[in-house]
Chains A and B, each alone.
Chain A
C-alpha cells in the first residue's frame, strides 16, 4: 500500500505534530520507502504464530499501592516551562 499526502497529514494530526506543507512531500517519499521495506513481512505466513508480548519468561511484578514519596511539588514544577508556583500553566482551554 502507499501513503498519500492526506494520510500523512492525518497521522501527523493524530501524533500532535504540525507538518509544513513544504515538508509533506519529502516525508511522503521517505515514509513510503520505509513502508515498502517493512512490508517484506507479508512474505511470511504467521497465521499459526502467537504474538510475542514479553521477552522475559516472567510476568510483570506489581507492587503494593502505597505512597512511596510525596511533598515534592517544587521538584516536580521545577522543570515546567510555565507555572504559577502551584500548577502547570497551559493556554486557556475553556472559554
Chain B
C-alpha cells in the first residue's frame, strides 16, 4: 500500500477501522520515519517499545468505536506523562519523571491513542523559534536552515515531516499558531478553559491553553473533541457539555460576517502577507461570507501588555524550581540560598532567566502599579475591543504571522525582534478567545504562510467550519521534500 504516514489523521483512522492497516503496522511506519529523521532534532524522548506494546494490545482486542482507535501520537514535552521523562525543554527538568498524567494526554489515551514520544520545544514554552530549548534547535522540514517556529516547534516539525499523524501543543502567545503557520499545518488555540491545564508545565497560567496541531481541519476537530472537556482539577476549566466538533463540521458559511481589522496591517509587513490576506478575503467572499471592516484600536499595545503579564506569571510559576523536591540541583553553593541561586542559574537558559527577571521586577515593590496593574488595565481594553467587534461579526480574519519561517540564528541577538513574531497571535491569548491558523499559501521562496481565524469565546465549531470551507477552496498543498532521510 502507499505510504500511510503522509495521509491525514482522518484517513488513517478510516484505514485502521476498515482493517487496511493494523495499529502495529502504523506504529512501525512512524518509528521508521522517526529513526530516519534524527537531523530534524524533533524528539527529546521516544517511547517506541511502550508504543508497540500498546499497538499489539489494540490489534488483539480492537475497539473501533473510539475517536482515535490504535493511533500513535507524539506530544509536546510540556505535557506531563506518567513514568515518561518530561523536560519542558529545560535543563532544570532533565531528569524529571512525572508520577501522574496530564488531563489532556489522559483524554487522548482514553480515546484509543498512545504515546510515541515527547517533542522538543522552547524552554518552558518561552520562544518563537525553538532555539531556546536546552536540547538543541529543531529544524523545520521546509528547509534545513529554517526554524520551525515556537514554542511548539518540535510538534509542528514532527507533523509536517510525517513523524506523527497529529499532535498537541500549548499556546501562551502564539506557540501553536505561529509554528503551524511556519510549517504549512493547521493549529488551534482553543478558548481559555476549554482544555484542562492540569499536568501541563505552567508558563503563564492566565494565558496558557493546550490545543491540536494537525494536517487538516477535520483532523483538528477530531483532536479537539478528544482532548477537551471539563476537569475538576483545573480551577479555570469551563464546565459545559462536550461538543462533537468533527461530526458537526459543515462547509456552508453563507451569510457569515467576517471582520477585517485594519490594525493588523503593520509597518514593514512583506507584500506577500498582504496578498495572502487579500486571497483569504476573496475565498471567503466567494463562499458567500460578508466581509466587514472593523477596528481593534488597542492591538499595538497587546505585545507590550503580554511582556508584562506573561513574565510576571512565569516568575511566580517558575519559583518552584529550587533544586529541592525534583529536577536539577547544582553541586555548588555552600548554603541553602546559594544552592537555590546556583541551581536556577545553571538550570535555566538565558531567555527563561530574562523573563523571570522581567517578571520579578514588574511585580516588585514600588513598580507593581506602574507595570503589572497598568498591563491588567490595558488587557481589559484589548478584551473590550474584541467584545465590541463580536457584537456585529461572527469571526475575524487576519494573517497568522508577519513573515514566513526565518533562518536559525537570525533573531537570537535581539529579543524584541523575536517577540514581534507574535504580534498577530498575542491579542487572542490576552482576550481568552479561540483562534485557528490555516495554511493558505507560500511566499516567493516557497515557504508556507498561514491565515488566522479568531472566534468568539467557545465558538470553536464556527471557526472550524469556516476553516473547513476555506481549506476546500484554497488549493494549498504542503509539498515537503524529505531531504533529511
Contact = CB atoms under 8 A, between A and B. Distances in A.
A18 interface: yes
Contacts of B192: 55-56
B378 interface: yes
A18 to B, nearest CB: 4
Given A27-B354, A53-B376, A56-B236, A33 B415 contact: yes
A31 B378 contact: no
B344 interface: yes
Interface string A1-43: 0010000100110111111000000010011011101111110
Contacts of A71: none
B99 A49 contact: no
B329 A41 contact: no
A34 B415 contact: yes
B39 to A, nearest CB: 31
Contacts of A67: none
Given A11-B360, A52-B383, A91 B333 contact: yes
Interface in B310-355: 315, 319, 322-329, 333-342, 344-345, 348, 353-354
Given A60-B235, A82-B329, A8 B357 contact: yes
Contacts of B307: 34, 37-38
B456 interface: no
Of A15, A60, A91, most buried by chain B (CB within 10 Å of CB) is A15
A42 B370 CA distance: 9
B48 interface: no
Interface string A73-95: 00110111110000010111100
Nearest to B352: A17
A70 interface: no
A13 to B, nearest CB: 8
B325 A14 contact: no
Interface string B426-440: 000001100000000
Contacts of B342: 18
Contacts of A46: 374, 377-378, 381
Interface residues of B, number: 67
A90 B336 contact: yes
Contacts of B64: none
Interface of B is mostly: helix
Contacts of A66: none
Given A17-B357, A27-B354, A78-B97, A56 B238 contact: yes
A85 to B, nearest CB: 15
Contacts of A15: 315, 344, 356-357, 360
Contacts of A55: 192, 206, 383, 431-432
B434 to A, nearest CB: 12
Contact of B322 (A16, A56, A72): A16
Contacts of A31: 354, 357-358, 361
A91 B336 contact: yes
Contacts of A14: 360, 364
Interface in B292-317: 298, 300-301, 303-305, 307-308, 315
B377 A50 contact: yes
B375 A27 contact: no
B390 interface: no
Nearest to B307: A38
B432 to A, nearest CB: 4
A12 B378 CA distance: 27
A38 B308 CA distance: 7
Contacts of B348: 17
Nearest to A36: B416
A37 B357 CA distance: 16
Interface in B96-117: 96-97, 99
Given A17-B348, A55-B192, 17 more contacts: A15-B344, A18-B345, A27-B353, A27-B357, A34-B354, A38-B308, A39-B304, A40-B300, A41-B305, A41-B374, A51-B373, A52-B379, A52-B380, A55-B383, A79-B99, A80-B326, A88-B325
7 contacts: A11-B360, A17-B353, A50-B377, A50-B380, A51-B376, A51-B377, A78-B99
Interface of A: 3, 8, 11-12, 14-19, 27, 30-31, 33-35, 37-42, 44, 46, 49-56, 58, 60-61, 63, 72, 75-76, 78-82, 88, 90-93
Interface of B: 95-97, 99, 192-193, 206, 232, 235-236, 238, 298, 300-301, 303-305, 307-308, 315, 319, 322-329, 333-342, 344-345, 348, 353-354, 356-358, 360-361, 364, 371, 373-381, 383, 414-416, 419, 431-432
Give the 5 A-B CB pairs with smallest separation, nearest first.
A51-B376, A55-B432, A79-B326, A81-B329, A18-B341
